């Protein structure tokens, strides 16, 4: 079956109601993607700096996993393997942040 495009107008309240029905994982993905959209459209943000940061950002799948691990750590704690996984993500994020700083400077 091919996709069908439906055009409609939504109010802000409609959007909030739809977002409020997302699962925790869906909400995390929505927030990440919304932030990316906001940065891409932000007129007050230095576009070159935003492009450099975007080029070094973790893939969405990895950022969602980091959120999942941080949430689990806060709520119930992590097992040793998950702690190691989170540490690896944090190290990778630090490395990427250093690259962004180098390029910006």
* pLDDT in 10s for each residue of the chain, 105 residues: 677 776 788 888 988 898 899 998 888 888 888 888 877 776 556 778 878 888 899 999 999 999 999 999 999 999 999 999 999 999 999 999 999 999 888
pLDDT of residue 45: 60
* CA distances for 63 relative to 8, 12, 18, 28, 70, angstroms: 31, 27, 23, 9, 11
pLDDT of residue 46: 77
One-character DSSP codes across 50-92: HHHHHHTSPPHHHHHHHHHHHHHHHHT---HHHHHHHHHHHHH
Task: Give 67: exposed, middle or buried? Use CB within 10 Å, 0-12, 13-18, 19+.
Answer: middle
Give the whole-angstrom CA distance, residue 63 versus residue 98: 18
Phi then psi for residue 77, to 5 deg, are: 95, 160
pLDDT of residue 32: 87
How long, in residues, is the chain? 105
**Helix (H) or strand (E) segment spanning residue 98:** helix 80-104
Give the whole-angstrom CA distance, residue 90 versus residue 10: 38
pLDDT of residue 8: 82
């Amino acid at each position: 079956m091919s996709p069908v495009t439906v055009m409609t107008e939504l109010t802000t309240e409609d959007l909030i109601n739809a977002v409020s029905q997302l699962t925790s994982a869906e909400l995390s993905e929505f927030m990440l993607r919304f932030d990316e959209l906001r940065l891409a459209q932000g007129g007050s943000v230095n576009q070159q700096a935003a492009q450099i940061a975007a080029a070094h950002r973790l893939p969405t799948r990895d950022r969602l996993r980091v959120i999942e691990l941080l949430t689990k750590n806060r709520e119930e704690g992590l097992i040793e393997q998950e702690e190691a996984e989170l540490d690896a993500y944090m190290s990778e994020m630090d490395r990427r942040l250093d690259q962004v700083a180098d390029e910006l400077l």
